[in-house]
Chains A and B, each alone.
Chain A
Amino acid sequence: MIPEIGHYALILALCVAVVQGVLPIYGAAVRNSSLMAVAKPAARGQFLLVLTAFCCLGYAFAVKDFSVLYVAATSNSQLPLHYRLAAIWGAHEGSLLLWMFILSIWMVAVSFFSTHLPEAMRARILGVMGLVSVGFLLFMLTVSNPFERLIPAALDGRDLNPLLQDPGMVIHPPMLYMGYVGFSVAFSFAIAALLGGTLDAAWARWSRPWTTVAWCFMTVGVAMGSGWAYYELGWGGWWFWDPVENASFMPWLAGTALMHSLAVTDKRGGFKAWSVLLAIMAFSLSLLGTFLVRSGVLTSVHAFATDPKRGLFILVFLAIVIGGSLVLYAWRAPRVGLGGGFALISREGMLLANNVLLVAALGSVLLGTLYPLFLDALDLGKISVGPPYFDTVFLPLMTPAIFLMGIGPLAQWKQASLPALAIRLRWAFGVSLVTAVVVPWLMGQWTPLVTLGLLMAFWILATIVVDLRERLLQAEGGGSIGGRVALLPRAYWGMVVAHAGVALFIVGVTMVKGFEAEQDVRMNVGETATLGGYTFRFDGTQQVNGPNYVAARGTIHVSQDGKEVTVMYPEKRRYFVQNQTMTEAAIATGLLRDLYVSLGEPLEGGAWSVRLYHKPFIDWIWGGCLVMAAGGILAISDRRYRLAWRRKEATVPVEAQLARPTVT
């Protein structure tokens, strides 16, 4: 009964979505206020309906209703409750429901935080979001229904893939989807502006905070995915250039470019058409990512052919969204004004150059991800595109981008002078170069790549220091340092923090790549191994029973200079239902290094093969990402956005709002 309610709620949601997608947009075109007013209640109603469906599926998982096909396929009676609930997004159908649920959350958010927008704009935005949800709901209801019954019911479920039975699974997909789907807001703003022909600086100002919020979620989501792979997969890597990872990385790159381009549109009125294009790109890549990961096309092109209905729907949907918005773009964008003029050497010029680099990087990831699929589909042979390819291609594209990242914030808008910039930055460059050469040498192993990496990181930090110093000296009126710091806008601090996060990230990547050490040893009980100055003593394993698995848990005492540092408990688990063995690595986290121990295979006499890693600075990789996201949050807490939010609290009659369409 409950699953049918969920199914029914989805059908109703589809009806509401159709209304929401058609009436407000039409109303905006004919300036009919009452048609436009449909958008808000429709968005909220749709949210309630999708929420109902989501809860129904959650309930089916909670009560172990194995007469629902999806529940039987992705959970099991022994699976603990929190993983049963996380199993909602454990496979294709449920992930789409999660996607849809999050889309409806964003819609409600837009309906609440858009009262300062002109009504036509808001109606169009919610209308476009409604159309997107029509696509997703249709997809679910026709070929990918999570509420499909299994009659007769299964006695027990096939269980969630043990790899996914991890706290990371509970939080990572919702986080990532908040980012993916968040770009639908930026997309809808762009399409609404194209439809209305109101592509101006105000449009950029409105869509900036939404884009930044989505980008923050995306950053945290991608970082969490990487961290999850690091501790769950058990071989110590943190990024594999796996197609699934690439699928989440591409929208991130597009979103990053979009944020920077919107900054120019907002401040200087330029790059309007380009910003719109990037918004379309970011969302299209989010869609592509969702479908790439969930359609099975990555495992094999032929998996696609086994279920042609789904594949066809996906292709048509992608074609409509991407093709439709590009046609609209081609039709409307040429009428967009140019905005303020600027020279090639200017902050605008550098941001644009950085955008080109980011998009080229994005194109390479796309190429590397899809190329094997195309070759295979065209029967031109099977190839693998992996880390060596991406590393080779990415480094030359990202190095100039990072270099520009240091200069850009110091360059003036409109027109900057290269010689003047060079003089302002010569110390920053000198200091970062010397440090980058000396530090690896002090650490005992000098390689050009480590120096290059550190140079980029120190360059970012040094230019931030130069920039901050100049601005604080110039800040008027604030006598004390504290007062001057407070005078700089939060949006500026957000940029500083986010850029510093990139530097931390680069430090982490460089140090891990340059200085990590590993050892594969056969350890008898009581034997020791030394790595990176730490001594690991293996004290045997014992059997541990989990809720749905049995594990051999090793005990490893770690000491440094005779003093015990920590005790680590790596596990080798066997999950009953799928009879799958999993390696649960033990990680001792630290600011300057991680110790990482994973159990290999049992050998004779209680001995085990054990893999030990010493990974310097690896947590800086994720720390850097969190700092980037913190920068984004700081930026949207800027005064002018708070003012905009506050303004909406004073209830303004609709007519009055229509009368002043460009209020910001």
Chain B
Amino acid sequence: MRWLWVLLLLIPSFATAYEASPLAANPQAEARLKALAVELRCLVCQNQTLADSNAPLAEDLRREVREMIAKDLTDKEIIDFLVSRYGDFVLYRPPWKLTTTLLWVGPFLLLGVGAIGLVFALRRRQKKMTDVTLSEAEHNRVTQLLSEGARRP
């Protein structure tokens, strides 16, 4: 019987004794990679970030970025290198350029135009809208109609 107790005592300690090791050798570098990879595109996937993709090419690219991080390159240097090799396509945050100006300005332009249009439309509307004054007879008729309506169940 005693050996069973020993075994029972052993099991939980056996289970907690071994912490799983992180996949990455250097968790800090991995955090940096992660921060970079969510802004980068997996080039062969339909629409996935480099961080999410399991494609072999994404794996290779992540390893390369890891190596660059190990070489102590700055984020900007890493991104510049990737852009020089793969073009702007690799960036999920399109860079500000002549061709992307409309992309970045567009939403706020829309909002601005919308807001100005709104104010103008309302002004014009107010001008068109003249207060209709009711004559005495019309007023009486309205009151009569309203009271009739109220009486009806």
Contacts and interface: CB of A to CB of B under 8 A. Distances in A.
A490 to B, nearest CB: 21
A112 interface: no
B91 A383 contact: yes
Size bracket, chain A contacts: 35 or more
B118 A364 contact: no
A240 B41 CA distance: 12
Interface in B86-131: 87-94, 99-100, 102-103, 106-108, 110-111, 114-115, 117-119, 122, 125-126, 128-129, 131
A383 B20 contact: no
Interface in B1-56: 14-16, 18-24, 30, 38-39, 41, 46-49, 51-52, 54
B46 to A, nearest CB: 7
B98 to A, nearest CB: 9
Interface in A214-260: 233, 235, 237, 240, 242-244
A41 interface: no
B92 A387 contact: yes
A293 interface: no
- Most chain A CB within a 10 A radius of its CB, from B46, B47, B49: B47
Nearest to B19: A528
Contacts of B119: 344
A383 B110 contact: no
Contacts of A396: 108
Given A341-B129, A360-B114, A527-B19, A367 B106 contact: yes
Contacts of A537: 15
A363 B23 contact: no
Contacts of A522: 20-23
B92 A524 contact: no
B92 to A, nearest CB: 3
A527 B15 CA distance: 7
A421 interface: no
Size bracket, chain B contacts: 35 or more
Nearest to A363: B110
Nearest to B43: A384
Given A359-B114, A381-B88, A381-B99, A609 B23 contact: yes
B92 A528 contact: no
A393 B41 CA distance: 19
Given A237-B52, A338-B129, A520 B92 contact: no
A380 B118 contact: no
Closest 7 CB pairs of A and B: A386-B92, A364-B107, A388-B93, A356-B114, A527-B20, A360-B111, A521-B20
A523 interface: yes
A604 to B, nearest CB: 14
Contacts of A341: 125-126, 129, 131
- Most chain A CB within a 10 A radius of its CB, from B23, B52, B89, B131: B23
Nearest to B107: A364
Nearest to B39: A388
A264 to B, nearest CB: 13
